[in-house]
Amino acid sequence: MKKALLVLLFVFLSVPLYAGEQPMEGSDAPSFKLQDQNGDWHTLESYRGQWLAIYFYPKDDTPGCTKEACNFRDNIFAFKAIDAAVVGISVDDVESHKKFSDKYKLPFTLLADSDNTTASAYGVLKDYKLLKLASRQSFLVDPDGKIAKHYGDVDPDTHTEEVLADIQTFSEVWQSTL
């Protein structure tokens, strides 16, 4: 009986619940005000007028998260060439982001969502009861602050190239509507 209760408890605690609904493509991106790895504040509004790749990730300095961050790092000049910004968000704190950013020389912003509000607003917060993490998902935000694309199934090896290609495609369409 005790073993069965322990198994049920383990299953209950290991199945994540998602907090919040994900914004739909074409809707306004949820606003945020978060500190970066240097303690500076950032808002969604500060990125208006340019494309913004917001990628959520579970944990600083873990294998998949490091691979994804380093791929964004290695392609940062391609993002800058098309006037696009990259922002990584996890529920880790500012100090953790600083260590992660310094260790891998990340030339873009990492935002600390320590109170889980932004991950919840984007519907990517996994709540394991004893632990909360952002799931590996991304959102492409257009220069007007609308969700252009949601990436629910992210491969850390190829995601950066996918986002770059989508920005180039969407940018042409967006420019034609001006």
Per-residue pLDDT tens digits for 15-62:
444 556 888 999 999 999 999 999 999 999 999 999 999 999 999 999
Would you say 76 and 150 are in contact if contact means Cβ atoms under 8 Å apart?
no
DSSP state of 108: S
Spatial separation of the C-alpha atoms in residues 165 and 140, rounded to whole Å: 11
Residue 14: pLDDT above 60? no
Catalytic annotation on 65?
Answer: yes
> Which pLDDT tens digit goes with each residue over 145-157?
999 999 998 999 9
With pLDDT > 70 as the criterion, what percentage of the chain qualifies?
Answer: 85
Distances (CA, A) of 9 to 12, 29, 100, 127: 5, 36, 33, 15
Q: Exposed, middle or buried by CB within 10 Å (0-12, 13-18, 19+), for 63?
A: exposed
Spatial separation of the C-alpha atoms in residues 33 and 111, rounded to whole Å: 9
Spatial separation of the C-alpha atoms in residues 160 and 167, rounded to whole Å: 11
Element (H, E) at 33: strand 33-36
Look at residues 84, 56, 77 and name the one whose alpha carbon lies nearest to residue 143: 84
pTM for the model:
0.86
Options 65, 84, 111, 125, the catalytic residue: 65
Q: Would you put residue 119 in left (φ > 0), alpha (ψ -120 to 50) or beta?
A: alpha
Domains of the chain: 32-176 (3.40.30.10)
